[in-house]
Amino acid sequence: LDPAADHATPPIMVLFKKVSRENEPMHAGGWQANVSEGLNGKTLGILGLGKLGARVAKFGLALEMDVIAWSENLTQERCGEVGVRLVDKETLFKTSDVISIHLILGDRSRGLVGQNELEMMKTSAYLVNTSRGPIVDEKALVAGLQDGKLAGAGLDVYDVEPLPVDHPLRALDNAILTGHTGYVIEELYHLVYGEAVENIAAWSKGEPLRLLNPPS
């Protein structure tokens, strides 16, 4: 199961196809309130090409997008395995029509997407973050969305969680927001809680399962 990777793909579709903006007027009795965009031929930038980033990259390839990738230690060999093009950081931010972030949070990734990087992006581009909030400078992102320097964003993670009720992101119609639900799927709950019950039952019998440090 890769629910976090799966969760990155709906915001891409929603942002390009204007699904959320079309949904509200339809429920209000309207019709065709927006003009959507196609994904074919658009450039998908993957920031971090590990297991999750590779899965999202394959989604883009299936839709015939031009998929490019960058991270600090990313190799040409890895990009070749996934079938995407390796580019430098500046090219990723300047040429992508949508960037999807797939990095772990650490000293090198904290604040990696800051004001300078956001200003490199096209005003028609989108940013999707389903990894960790602090990878992106949230204040700079809010300012970019408010000023129209960025077309939109799809976010599942934030600096402070739960997201404060009065947070400015909640007032932006070009921000697609979910509440850190990338991992929240029925199948995973069945798997995780089922294994937890098995672990407890096995431990009570003196036959523990799934040991992190099994005896040699």
Q: What is the pLDDT of residue 74?
A: 98
Share of the chain above pLDDT 90, in %: 83
Please give the torsion angle defined by the CA atoms of residues 21, 22, 27 and 29, in that order, rounded to the nearest 10 degrees: 120
Which residue out of 7, 102, 132, 138 is catalytically annotated?
Answer: 132
Active site residue 132: yes
Instruction: At 95, give phi and psi (nearest 5°).
Output: -105, -15
**pTM for the full model?**
0.89
pLDDT in tens, 66-76: 999 999 999 99
Given 21, 78, 167, 180, which residue is catalytic? 180
The pLDDT tens digits for 175-208 are 999 999 877 778 777 778 888 898 999 999 998 9
pLDDT tens digits, 21-63: 999 999 999 999 999 999 999 999 999 999 999 999 999 999 9
Given a cut of 60, is residue 1 above it in pLDDT? no
Tell me: the pLDDT tens digits for 122-142? Answer: 999 999 999 999 999 999 999
Query: Of residues 119, 161, 195, 198, which has the active-site annotation?
Result: 161
- Per-residue confidence (pLDDT) for residue 35, from 0 to 100: 94
- CA distances to 62, 144, 151, 206 from 175, in Å: 25, 11, 9, 51
Q: Is the pLDDT of residue 106 over 70?
A: yes
The CA-to-CA distance between both ends of the chain, in Å, stands at 30
Please report the pLDDT score of residue 33 as a whole number.
Answer: 94
